[in-house]
Structure 1
């Protein structure tokens, strides 16, 4: 544990160690020094925690040293290489594993199958009485305790010797379930074991795991841990035997639960332009104390103005940072009784209604840049929103949301609608010419679908507009107006 055994102290570069050394008169030897400095441990007033070059370090003198961890730090990298070359040390990874407290004082989560007997002893629920199920008629009360504590039907039970017992009311951390879900998904109705060995022998391992980059340091660590523990406990023995009969190698299967990891990109908040304001009041040094703030269109900005004008770049409570036409930042303090006018909202607005500039960054409620997809579904329909999400972003990179970009997919789907739906509404007469034209179009449509299916890289540069496909009576062939390449590759 930290602070026991061999103790390492670097007083020149750790403030706590520095204070300790000064108090007890210990020598302070600097080993990292920035360019242009000449540290003396006797005269240093505080620890130096920045980057620099190594000094007082024998053959490592002059080696760059940063605040990066592990091999990413040139200084650490050089020392590790030297220790390994000398055969006196080896690089190792310390995961700092700790005991996992899995109990939670709440209703949701898998019940812990333990009984508390009257004599103070604990008893494991027998296999015959598993699974222990959560009641679905609990009452949530503001007591700070799990509602299971007050559910008599769940709480009170009988131990194996017939004596009264009380069920454990803590439930398991939900990670206990999410860390092995893919095994249970194989056979959710299978009651003889956690999963059907035959199904596992056929389907596993998972071919591709798709998730966010943060999963690598959270969920996937739990999932891999569970997989290896279940393997070591013999949970996979029956599955391994079934795999061997199928000619598969069980050792490779159960070492890692997933074969491939793919991280999807993140859709970021779109850049938002701040309100352009005219602020008037009195100047105190370089800060304007504003008693009037008016939001205007940038094109209507006056060339000369006694107060301050520009785009609001940041706002902290009643303090505005406004970028002027010369790209300088001006500080505006809005008084409590200031008159604030926003044309779309009217007069008597509050300072919190002023919109500041938002850069492209991760969506966050606190930043006010969260895009609600439901609003776009109401405006454009779910098909348009889905199409925009598929075509606007590289799957593994993501990118910033663009509210204007959704109009392209909308026009594309309108073209598709005009091809397929509108002609069908015309109620064409049953003529031989129309039947032939419809048959030709249907054949061409399915040829195009087949070509796109076989050649995933084939895509026209613009949506194809197909007109008059229904054909009025007497027209023998469909007239196709297009832009881009032909409907089917040659």
Structure 2
């Protein structure tokens, strides 16, 4: 019976689906386990990253199922988004048709992997029965003031007549049409995530099952800092600019002010001046740059002098106001009092533009000279050049200066968050419509709940210019629900992150038609016990999901605070790249014997990096499955690296995984008659062979169990491989029924242990061995601690601190006997000859140490 993955995998996938063996139902008498991988965008084909992510989740789900948990393991589709609209423009195909055809194909591919999903819980976020409830939640957030409209600066493509995300701006131009991008003020809808900033931050210290790296990223993104807001009057006007600073102790050392290009005052200060045109040009150039790169330490500091001055409220000094590339509106107030002596960025800026540097903090035992400083001093010290505050420790000075500013009425102590409200408006078609109507008489009017969902119209033209929804008169023109007058419907759709912020709740009761989800079902299944996905979602998706959960709690939908108990962020799948001088990037199959299959030229082999379609260093999972089978694809992705680390693609690794499955297959098939037989006597635990079999069986169960619990899936697989090798070594030593019974039990254990990893193979072997039911549903094997301790141990023998021999001896052997064996060992004898033995030390079951002279 040869191992034939194509035959057995299709067979068991059909059986699992027909019998619905992974269907889950809430049952309060059973302990639940919610295992969830981040759902995919239906782009058309799964990639190796999907295979790895879902294989990891499937191991956990199947393992917990065998442990007796009532497991929910759902799958669905993050189906809204710009790629569908781009496909509509490019290929003249409706986004819905494109999306659903991709879903059908990707679902077929996922089923090929044999994943234990309950497909009855499948959802697609573009389904009106899904986004209907999202619209309802939006209306409730609107009533609570958590959804609101305001004006903000956006990237605007004048050719496409649409807003672009920062990622869609390439070298200052639109990624689609290459037109120069403009910065434009536009009204849009926002969620007030800042209301939850403190709680979101606080709970990062309570999420014990999350990687510290992710929690640190979220803390930095929330960016809490305590300091002061200070009002600086603009010279010659009654207007002020408010700055936020964490260093009020350095206020007397401020020599200029920097404001963000996005700051509302930036254009005002330039208006009507001779430098207005040049200043606006500077603003637009800076705003096209990526915000992260603008604040990078090695980024060149650029500024534009507005011609205006701010007045320092504590000493009356005139501070020139610069628009600076390194100041962001996203942090603080978007305006910074610049103290070059004590801030490195300000120092570099002051040096570049010839601005004053005033030392106001002197370190102990040193006197800083601004003319000789090569970098800013940011440490502690005594305040100097600071009027009545001279001589104070700077930490004390922070408090005293804030008190003084409050007395003057020009400042106050404050807490600032880097986190800004979540802009959810998108000027595109393929998203959930925002359920708002605009009436000239009534203003902003929510769509009545009984009129939900506000469905996307189907008869839409996709030209690539502007928002298609605004061109559909039947959609836009409506009657005001309040007064009946002619009104206009909101044409913005919601950011797709909104759909992914609550989909895990909908899985609990996906057919519920009276509410977003059934409260009882959610109370049973939630929170998610194990969430699995890429580190790239560490901030936005995970932070938004946490925010949305807290909002739903406060709206009375749920009674818990956090959506995900434990989080695993798996690494990427990486492969070397191939490039031809003539044909550019090549797919692996376009390379033959180191040459380009198209032209025969030598191929340049590049570095190993994340698999990506753009660089063509991808492996098609479907082709891999066709050649080796899904179990091999799964096993390789699980064994090649720890889940949280990047996985390097290896053809040899794939072949090794295939060979191992064949080894397991042959071992079981070879002894199938023993497994089917009535050999089942009481095992003689004192027999040497039995001891050996029991030891390997129980240590493997213990190792695999503990490793799965710790997500060390690669070492769990390694333990199963070692177990298999040991069984091969023992198979020829069986001589009686006791030994055969122990060996038979070991083989059955092996089938159970491989089940979460290579389920098709396990299921077929279980069936061939004559067992009823499904191995996927049997109990996970238990280990007995007494069998995991080997009777024989290895003791190291040292002479004058150097290892000279090893002894295989029975555990807990008497000291005198151990020392005698050590001294009689041939390797040890030669080091004792002609020497005086001055000391003998024995550490039980570990070490013999002999000291000679």
Secondary structure of the residue that 2:565 maps to in structure 1? strand
Pick from 604, 609, 614 the counterpart of residue 355 of structure 1: 604
**Alignment partners' CA distance in 2, 1:89 and 1:461:** 68
In the alignment, the residues of structure 2 paired with residue 368 and residue 32 of structure 1 have an alpha-carbon distance, to the nearest angstrom, of 57
Shift of 1:461: 1.0
Please tell me whether residue 413 in structure 1 is matched to residue 661 in structure 2: yes
Q: Is the 8 A contact 2:339 2:357 kept in 1?
A: no
Question: Which aligned pairs between 1:90-489 and structure 2 lie closer than 5 A?
Answer: 94-117=416-439, 121-135=443-457, 137-160=458-481, 161-232=483-554, 234-236=555-557, 239-240=558-559, 253-254=560-561, 256-270=562-576, 344-345=595-596, 354-358=603-607, 360-365=608-613, 369-418=617-666, 438-439=676-677, 456-457=704-705, 459-461=720-722, 463=724, 487=747
Task: Give the direction of change, closer, same or farther, for the CA distance of 1:259–1:92 in structure 2 (3 Å limit).
Answer: farther
- CA pair 355-437 structure 1, distance change in 2 beyond 3 A: closer
Secondary structure of the structure 2 residue equivalent to 1:377:
helix
Distance across 2 between alignment mates of 1:213 and 1:89: 42
Deviation at 1:219, TM superposition (A): 1.3
Does residue 17 in structure 1 map to residue 254 in structure 2? no
Contact 2:424 2:494 in 1 (8 A): yes
Counterpart residue number, 1:8: 337
Cα distance in 2 for partners of 1:89, 1:226 equals 39
Report the count of equivalent residues.
Answer: 352
- Point out the more displaced range, 199-208 or 89-98: 89-98
2:532 alignment partner, SS class: strand
Indicate the residue corresponding to 1:310 in structure 2.
none
TM-score (norm 1): 0.56
Alpha-carbon distance between aligned partners in 2 of 1:346 and 1:129, rounded to the nearest angstrom: 59
Q: How far apart in 1 are the matches of 2:594 and 2:571?
A: 38
Report the CA distance between 1:438 and its aligned residue. Answer: 4.1
Distance change (3 Å), C-alpha of 1:384 and 1:138: farther
Cα distance 1:438–1:377, how it changes in 2: closer, same or farther (>3 A)?
same
> Which digits, 9 at most, give the CA deviation of each residue in 1:27-71, with x for residues without a partner?
4549899xxxx9963367xx747xxx868x6379xxxxxxxxxxx
Unaligned runs of at least 5 residues, structure 1: 61-80, 241-252, 276-294, 296-314, 319-341, 425-433, 470-476
CA contact 1:83–1:89 (8 Å) conserved in 2: no
More contact order relative to length (CA 8 Å, sep ≥ 6)? 2
Q: Distance in 2 between matches of 1:120 and 1:401?
A: 61
Shift of 1:199: 2.2
What root-mean-square deviation, in Å, do the aligned CA atoms of Structure 1 and Structure 2 show? Answer: 5.2
CA-to-aligned-CA distance 1:80-124 (integer Å, 9 cap, x gap): x98399987999984323233211111222111112346584321
Q: Higher helix share goes to which structure?
A: 2
CA distance in 1, matches of 2:431, 2:567: 27
CA distance in 2, matches of 1:407, 1:421: 21
Partners of 1:372 and 1:355 in 2: CA distance: 21
- How far off its partner does 1:406 sit? 0.9
Distance in 2, Cα, partners of 1:30 & 1:235: 53
Contact 1:138–1:147, Cα closer than 8 Å, also in 2: no
TM-score under structure 2 length normalisation: 0.34
Aligned match of 1:42:
371
Q: Structure 2: any 5+ residue segments left out of the alignment? A: 1-228, 233-240, 244-335, 384-392, 403-412, 585-592, 682-692, 706-718, 732-736, 750-782, 788-853
Residue 165 (structure 1) shift: 3.6
Q: Decide whether the 8 Å contact of 1:18 with 1:28 is kept in 2.
A: no
CA–CA distance in structure 2, aligned partners of residues 176 and 101 of structure 1? 11
Offset, 1:221 = 1.3
SS of alignment partner, residue 456 of structure 1: helix
Distance (Å, rounded) in 2 between the aligned partners of 1:197 and 1:84: 52
Secondary structure of residue in 2 paired with 1:189: coil
Superposed displacement of residue 407, structure 1: 0.9
Distance in 1, Cα, partners of 2:516 & 2:489: 22
1:381 CA displacement: 2.5
Q: By how many angstroms is 1:132 displaced?
A: 1.7
Contact 1:265 1:395 in 2 (8 A): yes
